[in-house]
Chain A
Amino acid sequence: MKIVVLVKHVPDAAGDRSFSGDTTTDRAAVDGRLSELDEYAVEQALQVVEKAGEGEITFLTMGPEAASEALRKALSMGGDAGVHVVDDALHGSDAIATSLVLAAAVRRLEPDVVICGMASTDGTMSVVPAMLAERLGLTGLTLAASLTIEGNTVTIRRDSDEASTTITGSLPALISVTDQTGEARYPSFKGIMAAKKKPVETLTLADLGIDPAQVGLGAAWSAVDNIAKRPARQAGTIVTDEGDGGVKLADFLAAGKFI
Chain B
Amino acid sequence: MDFVPNDEQRAIVETVRAFVETELYPHEDLVEQLDDVPKELAAEIQTKAINAGLYAANMPEELGGGGLNAVGVALAEREFGRASYALQMLVARPSNILQACTGDQIEEYLLPSIRGERHDCLAMTEPGAGSDVRSMTTKAERHGDDWIINGGKHFISHADVSDFVILFATTGVDETPRGPKKRISGFLVDMGLPGFEVRRGSSCVSHRGYHQCELLFDNVRIPGYKLLGEEGRGFDLMGDWLGATRLTVAATSVGRSQRVLETALSWAANRKQFGQPIGNFQGVGFQLADCEVAVDAADLLTLRAADRIDKGTYVDADAAKAKLFASETLAKVTDTAVQVFGGMGLMSETPIERWWRDARVERIWDGTSEIQRHIINRSQMKPLGA
Contacts and interface: CB of A to CB of B under 8 A. Distances in A.
A218 interface: no
Q: Is the interface of B mostly helix, strand, loop or mixed?
A: helix
Given A193-B67, A193-B68, A187 B15 contact: yes
B54 A189 contact: yes
A69 B12 CA distance: 13
A186 B11 contact: no
Contacts of B52: 185-186, 188
A76 B9 CA distance: 12
B187 to A, nearest CB: 30
For the residues of A in contact with B, the DSSP-based class is: helix
A191 interface: yes
B355 interface: no
B61 interface: yes
B7 interface: yes
A255 B15 CA distance: 47
Given A189-B66, A192-B15, A72 B7 contact: yes
B225 to A, nearest CB: 31
B47 to A, nearest CB: 13
A73 B68 CA distance: 17
A195 interface: yes
A190 interface: yes
A188 B8 contact: no
Contacts of B51: 185
A189 B19 CA distance: 12
Contacts of A73: 11, 14
A188 B53 CA distance: 4
B18 A186 contact: yes
A191 B52 CA distance: 10
Contacts, number: 51
Contacts of B54: 186, 188-189
Q: Which of B12, B15, B51 has the most CB of A within 10 A?
A: B15
A76 B11 contact: yes
A72 to B, nearest CB: 5
Interface residues of A, number: 15
Nearest to A73: B11
Nearest to B9: A192
B4 to A, nearest CB: 13
Contacts of A189: 12, 15, 53-54, 57, 66-68, 72, 76
Contacts of A187: 11, 15, 53
Contacts of A195: 7-8, 11
Interface string B1-26: 00000011011101100110000000
A138 B68 CA distance: 42
A56 B23 CA distance: 31
B68 to A, nearest CB: 6
A72 B19 contact: no
Nearest to B53: A188
Nearest to A34: B14
Nearest to A186: B52
A196 B8 contact: yes
Contacts of A190: 53, 61, 66-67
Interface string A173-216: 00000000000011111111101100000000000000000000
A192 B18 contact: no
Most chain A CB neighbours (cut-off 10 Å) among B7, B19, B52, B76:
B7
A189 B12 CA distance: 7
Contacts of A69: 7, 10
Contacts of A191: 53
A195 B10 CA distance: 13
A192 B7 CA distance: 9
B96 to A, nearest CB: 16
A192 B52 CA distance: 12
Interface in B24-56: 51-54
A193 B15 contact: no
Most buried by B among A189, A191, A196: A189
Interface string B173-211: 000000000000000000000000000000000000000
Q: List the 6 closest pairs (A to B, CB-CB), nearest first.
A: A188-B53, A189-B66, A186-B52, A192-B11, A187-B15, A72-B7
Interface of B: 7-8, 10-12, 14-15, 18-19, 51-54, 57, 61, 66-68, 72, 76
27 contacts: A69-B10, A72-B7, A72-B11, A186-B15, A186-B52, A187-B15, A187-B53, A188-B52, A188-B53, A188-B66, A189-B15, A189-B53, A189-B67, A189-B68, A189-B72, A190-B61, A190-B66, A190-B67, A192-B8, A192-B11, A192-B12, A193-B8, A193-B61, A193-B67, A195-B7, A195-B11, A196-B8
